[in-house]
Amino acid sequence: MISGLTAAEQQCHNLNDLKAGKYQGYKRLQLVEGLSELPEEILSLSDSLEVLDLSNNLLSELPDSFVQLKNLKVLFLSFNQFKVFPDVLGKCLNLDMVGFKSNQIESISETALPKNLRWLILTDNCLTQLPHSFGQLSQLKKLALAGNKLSAIPESFTQCKQLELVRLSANELASVPAGLFKLPKLAWLALSGNPFVGDHKAHSGIAQYEQQDIVLNEQIGQGASGVIYQGKLTNVDTDIAIKVFKGGKTSDGYPEDELNACLTAGQHENLINTFANISEPDFLALLMDLIPKGYENLGLPPNYETCTRDTFVEGSQFSIETISNIAKQLADVLSHLHNQQVSHGDFYAHNTMINEQGHVMFGDFGAATQLHNLSEVQQQQFERIEVRAFGNLLDDLLIHCEVIETREKSKLTDLALFEKVSNIRNSCLNDDVSHRPSFTDIKKLMIQN
C-alpha cells in the first residue's frame, strides 16, 4: 500500500502489543479485535502512522483527538457500525484514501469530507444524499458509492474535475446531473440498478438451466461478484466454466445486472463465450466456455500510488506491433458492445487476457451498464467515456513500449506505427468528451496506413 513498509508492518497486529509500545515508528497498523472504541494508544503513533486499517470491528464513532494522527494518509473502517461519517475526518488534512464499505452510514455533514481525498469508498451503506460540499473535493479521482439509497446527486458533484472512476450502481437515482457525462477525466462509470437506467433487456435464444443440471468441480477464479468453477452439465462430458454469483450487492452493484449485461453483450471472438444461465430465486449463474490454456492477464489492478491506473509486472515491455494488434481487437470488441447498447464500465488491462499468439479475450461485466433505455445523446456520452478508458489503456501500453527504450535503433515503420497509435491515444484522451472518436472511428483509424 505505502512504500517502505517492513514485513512486520504488513501483517495484522494485536492490541496487547500496541499497548506495550511495540509498534512505535510503524507506518501501518491493522487491528481486528472486536473494538467498540478507538484505542488511545493509536494516537501515540502520530509521528509515523500513514495507514490505519480498523476494518471488521464494532466501531461507531471516532474521537475528536483522532486529528492528532497528522501523517495519516489511508484509513480503512469497512465492516464496522458507523451511521454517521465522522466529522473529525474533515480536519485530517493529509488523508487521501478513506474506506467505509459496509457500514450503515446515513449522512455526511458539509464539513466531514477530507479536502484532499483522491479515493473514497462508501459502498454498501444507507446514504440518501450527498453534501453540497462534495464539489470541493478537487483531487478526487476514484469514488465508490454503489449499494446506497441515493435518489439524487448534487449539482456540485460536477465540479470534481479530476474524477476518473465513479460507481453509482444499485441506488435509487431517477436522474443524474448532465454535467456528470461531461467530466473531462471520467473513464469508468457504472450506473446499473437505478430507475434512471430502467429495466433489463429481454433475451431470446439464451439457454436456461436449473441448478440440478450442473456439477461444480474445482474453483478456478473469484471476483467481487462471484466464484468461478470448472464444472459440467450433468448430461454432457465437456468441461465448462460456471460463474456462481454471490448474494446481495457487490462493490459494482447487483449480480442480476451483471448477468443480464453479460447476456446482452452477445458473442464476439474476443469475448468469453457465455452460452447459458441459471436464474433461480436463490441461485444465479453464468455458463461459459473455459478459457483455453496459455492466456495471461495483460496487466495488474491499480494500487494505492496509481489509484485508477493499472500496474504491470516489473520489466514488462511490448512491441509496437503487439500494442497495435491489441488495440485493434479491443476497439472491435468495444464497438460490438456499444452496438449492443452495453457499456463495460471496467475496461482495464487487468480484465484483458492475451496468449502468445497475441489473441485477446475480454470479460468481467460486474460494472457494466445497459444503455437501451437512455437517450441517444446519453448513449453516445457513455461510449465517449469508455473511449477515454481505451485511451488510458493505450497510454499504459505505450509507456511500456520497446520503441521508447530503443528509439535510435527502431525501424522507421515502427516509429510511424508508434506515432499513429500515440495520435489515437491523444484523441481518446481529449478532455472535451464530444471531441473524442467513437469506437467505430477508432477501428477505421487503426487500419489506415
Binding residue per annotation — 182? Answer: no
φ, ψ of residue 125 to 5 degrees: the values are -130, -160
- Give CA angle at 306 (393, 182), nearest 5°: 60
Task: Fill in the amino acid letter for 37.
Answer: E
Cell of 386: 469508455
Count the Cβ atoms, other than its own, within 10 Å of residue 250: 24
Residue stretches of the annotated binding site for ATP = 243
Residue stretches of the annotated binding site = 243
